[in-house]
Structure 1
Amino acid sequence: MAKLAENADVMDILQGVIDGVKAGTVFGEPIEKDGVTVLPVARISGGGGGGTGRDSGEPERSGSGGGLGLMARPVGVYVLRDGKVTWTPAVDATKIILGAQLVAAAALLTIRAVIRARHPRGRPPQDETRLRRRGGQAGARFTMRA
């Protein structure tokens, strides 16, 4: 008898999920003011899981499980004004900031690579290399005696 109640609860939960993910939740309630109607739109995604269990050797062992996740994000709004419909997308500041951070990191890494390619460590600049081959010293001053 308890198994039937558990199954009924699972079915109730699934029905609630099905009812929750419908056009009414994707398109919000229209908002009307001063002759302008705004219809909010959201993107809904979700997932679920399940489980069960038994151990035929021992009647005391049992099992269950479950999981569900839903996420809704605003996408934008339809604006109805003077018989014309326009779409206004929602701006997600988090994505803009993340994108800017990625671009900045890539730029810094590129600048670092260019600087290292131009001035590698452990290798003297070209002027010093030429002077050492000739037996001179880098930065040595030569004076003429009369």
Structure 2
Amino acid sequence: MKIEDLLTTLRTAVSARAVFGEPVERDGVTVVPAARVLGGGGGGQDLPEGEGAGLGYFARPVGAFVIERGRVRWVPAVDVTRLVTVAGAAVVTCLLTHRGFVRAKRRRG
């Protein structure tokens, strides 16, 4: 794959169509899903024995625009994995901090 082909593929993959999904309409309400899309690529040189190229991208839902009665509102997506990770990190931090205070207090007598 040539670098030009790789860049064309990357531009196509990381486009507005990848960020905004197809609108869904039901009972007068239109929902337009949105995602955060990150992408990148790389390539090798035109050598007689082999070329190299790579492409990757990551997409994660972030929410949706809801259009109802002529008004638009943003509804964020809830990332349960991120919430659990942050809550777990907060609990561990609190426990370690509390343990440090207890040890310091015992040393002081």
* Unaligned residue ranges in structure 1 (runs of 5+): 1-5, 55-60, 126-146
Q: How many residues are treated as equivalent by the alignment?
A: 109
Task: Give the CA deviation at 1:37.
Answer: 0.3
Task: Give the CA deviation at 1:24.
Answer: 1.5
Secondary structure of the residue aligned to 2:52 is: coil
Which has the higher Rg, Structure 1 or Structure 2?
Answer: 1
Asked if 1 retains the 8 angstrom alpha-carbon contact of 2:35 and 2:62, the reply is: yes
The one-letter code sitting in structure 2 at the alignment partner of 1:33 is: R
Query: TM-score when scaled to structure 2?
Result: 0.87
Secondary structure of the residue aligned to 2:50 is: coil
Secondary structure of the residue aligned to 1:12 is: helix
Secondary structure of the residue aligned to 2:63 is: strand
Query: TM-score when scaled to structure 1?
Result: 0.67
Which of the pair is proportionally richer in strand? 2
Q: Percent identity?
A: 47
| Higher normalized contact order (CA 8 Å, seq sep 6+, divided by chain length) | 2
Please tell me the root mean square deviation across aligned C-alpha atoms, in Å: 2.0
Asked if 1 retains the 8 angstrom alpha-carbon contact of 2:21 and 2:34, the reply is: yes
Task: Give the CA deviation at 1:53.
Answer: 6.4
